[in-house]
Amino acid sequence: MTAPRRDTYTPETLLSVAVAVFNERGYDGTSMEHLSKAAGISKSSIYHHVAGKEELLRRAVSRALDGLFAVLDEPGATHGPALARVEHVTRRMVEVLTAELPYVTLLLRVRGNTRTERWAMERRREFDQRVAELLKAAVADGDLRADVDTRLATRLVFGMVNSLVEWYRPQAGGGYDSTQVADAVVRLAFDGLRVPGARD
């Protein structure tokens, strides 16, 4: 990580440095001293921008959450049959996750010790709940199978999508782009890997 020049520091560059440090050391294991060293600016310069590390955490997870919740307001998520809406949301979740990888990684690793962490976990549950409702509506329409419990299906789809933070690295050699991964996730989750009619 290269430290930007002091006079070019903005809240955004500070945020991106902080997120990298939080993801590496864990939020609990990060001190203002660590942030100051990683950013190459003094602690008092950091305090000029934010009240403390919890504010940086709040801004970082907000960025991930805002990206995810915005998907639910897109026309593809609000119009048409529930099945098409849930497919749209699944695809866009992957795209937000790959575009905002460090921010979503931090969001998914948050465990509730501080108020901000508990708030982030609550918002995540709210998002998961909204997606579960879409899945449920598609089952009610007869478009998604009723023989897989909806809550369990939601967990598994999120498990698959969220696992991207463990291995997806943009532009890595032999890597996949965001669209390839989104296509594969939607294909696997809704149509499965089996060729229709293949022997069992």
Buried b (16+ CB within 10 A) or exposed e, 102-114: bbbbbbbebeeeb
172 makes contact with a copy of itself (CB under 8 A): no
111 makes contact with a copy of itself (CB under 8 A): no
The correct pick among 75, 152, 171, 173 for binding a copy of itself (CB under 8 A) is 152
CA distance 141 to 28: 45
Written as six digits, the tokens of 117 are 């962490």
137 makes contact with a copy of itself (CB under 8 A): no
Cα angle 5, 14, 100 (rounded to 5 degrees) comes to 120
CA distance 158 to 153: 9
**Among 133, 179, 182, 137, residue whose Cα is nearest residue 154:** 133
Torsion of CA 140, 189, 78, 92, to 10 degrees: 170
153 makes contact with a copy of itself (CB under 8 A): yes
The correct pick among 11, 81, 112, 170 for binding a copy of itself (CB under 8 A) is 81
The correct pick among 8, 75, 166, 171 for binding a copy of itself (CB under 8 A) is 166
The correct pick among 14, 21, 181, 182 for binding a copy of itself (CB under 8 A) is 181
Alpha helices for 11-81 (secondary structure H): 11-25, 32-39, 43-49, 53-72, 75-78
Find the largest Cα–Cα distance for the chain. Answer: 67
196 makes contact with a copy of itself (CB under 8 A): yes
User: For a copy of itself, which is the closer residue by CB, 48 or 187?
Assistant: 187
180 makes contact with a copy of itself (CB under 8 A): yes
173 makes contact with a copy of itself (CB under 8 A): no
User: For a copy of itself, which is the closer residue by CB, 87 or 117?
Assistant: 87
84 makes contact with a copy of itself (CB under 8 A): yes
Which residues of this chain interact with a copy of itself, rule CB under 8 A?
A: 81, 83-84, 87, 135, 142-145, 147-149, 152-153, 155-164, 166-167, 176, 180-181, 183-185, 187-196, 198-200
